[in-house]
């Protein structure tokens, strides 16, 4: 990979990158606050046909999806550049009702991190979302409550990158590279300023968010030299990751333990068994009760 990463503090970093805009190698693009990231060029046109078929089936199943146009899949440019994503990190813990429900908001610049609720003696769990699916937030709120009720002192951090995931799919694929570095910068800064033990970090997400956390695991190793404890992913996204360009696909090097659960293989979910452990309930492809794509008829 052609990352030109800079390992100093963010402030040093912002000073260093001023004026670097045109210094990326061909095929890379400069992203503010990050440096040079590769354009995503490896997705094959075949994927578009494949995804349109799946999408058409899903679309006909769920009336609510009518608001999304097929353009999301068709508008793909050949090479797509990652952009600066206005990622928001939401910190939750058990210290107060506000911290349980509302969360402490930090943006990607990490300004104000010193005020974020963070307990170095608790486990640190990052959770994120996939393409188009952060809002409504009920599912993520439920997961947060499960963690807060089960573990003492848990740091539960929701990575909201919907600024980069609600548009064209191929742009979202390129953008997760930015989000991965933003999240890894946060981990590095928590390590340096708040005593975070990186080898206790866990990350979990589905679909595109799973691929994003794979890249985050790599960036964490690059920045800190330490592997996160675990990445848990439901159905890592298939389109653009699985067939043509495997370099962005989550794999077993991305954390000490990479646990992949496959329920939708060959549709939106990858067929690559690339974790340290891969679970394939009911064969991993189609689920009973008509759970073909996004809904189940129980």
Ligand X SMILES: *[C@@H]1O[C@H](CO)[C@@H](O)[C@H](O)[C@H]1NC(C)=O
Considering only residues 200, 221, 271, 276, which one is a binding residue for ligand X as defined by CB under 6 A? 200
DSSP state of 37: E
Q: Is 58 in the site for ligand X (CB under 6 A)?
A: no
Binding mask of the shown chain, residues 170 to 199, with x at each position contacting ligand X by CB under 6 A: ---------------------------x-x
Q: Is 252 in the site for ligand X (CB under 6 A)?
A: yes
Q: Is 69 in the site for ligand X (CB under 6 A)?
A: no
Q: Is 124 in the site for ligand X (CB under 6 A)?
A: no
- Angstrom distance (rounded) from CA 187 to CA 228: 10
Q: Which stretch binds ligand X (CB under 6 A): 62-70, 179-187, 204-212, 251-259?
A: 251-259
Q: Is 112 in the site for ligand X (CB under 6 A)?
A: yes
Q: Is 119 in the site for ligand X (CB under 6 A)?
A: no
* Number of residues written out for the chain: 298
Per-residue buried b or exposed e for 119-158, using 16+ beta carbons within 10 Å of the residue's own CB = beebbbbbbbbbbbbbeeeeebeeebeebbeeeeebbbbb
Q: Could you give phi then psi for residue 190, rounded to 5 degrees?
A: -65, -35
Considering only residues 177, 251, 264, 267, which one is a binding residue for ligand X as defined by CB under 6 A? 251
Q: Which stretch binds ligand X (CB under 6 A): 19-27, 146-154, 185-193, 287-295?
A: 146-154
Q: Is 78 in the site for ligand X (CB under 6 A)?
A: yes
Residue 12 in tokens: 């040093």
With CA atoms as reference, report the closest residue to 224 among 189, 179, 176, 178: 189
DSSP state of 24: S
Considering only residues 148, 215, 228, 237, which one is a binding residue for ligand X as defined by CB under 6 A? 148
Taken in order 233, 293, 90, 40, the sign of the CA dihedral is positive
With CA atoms as reference, report the closest residue to 40 among 81, 11, 101, 92: 81
Question: What's the closest the beta carbon of residue 265 comes to ligand X, in angstroms?
Answer: 19
C-alpha to C-alpha distances, 298 to 18, 112, 252, 294, 295, nearest whole angstrom? 56, 46, 34, 13, 9
Nearer to ligand X, 119 or 200 (CB): 200
Between residue 204 and residue 223, which ones bind ligand X under the rule CB under 6 A? none
Binding mask of the shown chain, residues 84 to 103, with x at each position contacting ligand X by CB under 6 A: ----------x---------
DSSP state of 25: P
Q: What does the binding site for ligand X look like in residue numbers (CB under 6 A)?
A: 77-78, 94, 107, 109, 111-112, 148-149, 151-152, 197, 199-200, 247, 251-253
């Amino acid at each position: 990979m052609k990352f030109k990463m800079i390992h100093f503090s963010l402030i040093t970093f912002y000073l260093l990158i001023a004026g670097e805009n045109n210094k990326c190698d061909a095929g890379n693009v400069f992203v503010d606050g990050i440096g040079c990231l590769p354009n995503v060029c490896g997705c094959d046109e075949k994927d578009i046909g494949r995804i349109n078929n799946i999408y058409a089936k899903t679309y006909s199943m769920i009336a609510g999806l009518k608001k999304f146009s097929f353009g999301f899949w068709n508008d793909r440019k050949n090479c797509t550049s990652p952009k600066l994503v206005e990622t928001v990190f939401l910190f939750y813990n058990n210290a107060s009702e506000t911290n349980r429900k509302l969360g402490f908001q930090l943006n990607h610049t990490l300004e104000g991190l010193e005020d974020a609720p963070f307990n170095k003696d608790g486990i640190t769990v990052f959770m994120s979302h996939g393409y188009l699916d952060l809002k409504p937030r009920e599912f993520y709120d439920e997961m947060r409550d499960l963690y807060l009720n089960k573990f003492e002192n848990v740091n539960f951090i929701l990575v909201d990158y919907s600024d980069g995931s609600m548009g064209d799919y191929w742009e979202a694929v390129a953008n997760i590279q930015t989000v991965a570095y933003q999240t890894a910068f946060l981990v590095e800064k928590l390590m340096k300023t708040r005593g975070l033990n990186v080898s206790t970090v866990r990350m979990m997400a589905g679909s595109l968010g799973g691929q994003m956390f794979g890249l985050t695991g790599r960036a964490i190793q690059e920045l800190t030299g330490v592997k996160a404890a675990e990445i848990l992913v439901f159905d890592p996204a298939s389109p653009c990751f699985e067939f043509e360009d495997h370099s962005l696909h989550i794999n077993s090097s991305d954390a000490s333990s990479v646990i992949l659960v496959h329920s939708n293989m060959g549709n939106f979910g990858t067929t690559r068994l690339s974790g340290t452990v891969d679970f394939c309930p009911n064969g991993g492809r189609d689920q009973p009760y008509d759970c073909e794509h996004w809904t189940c008829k129980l």
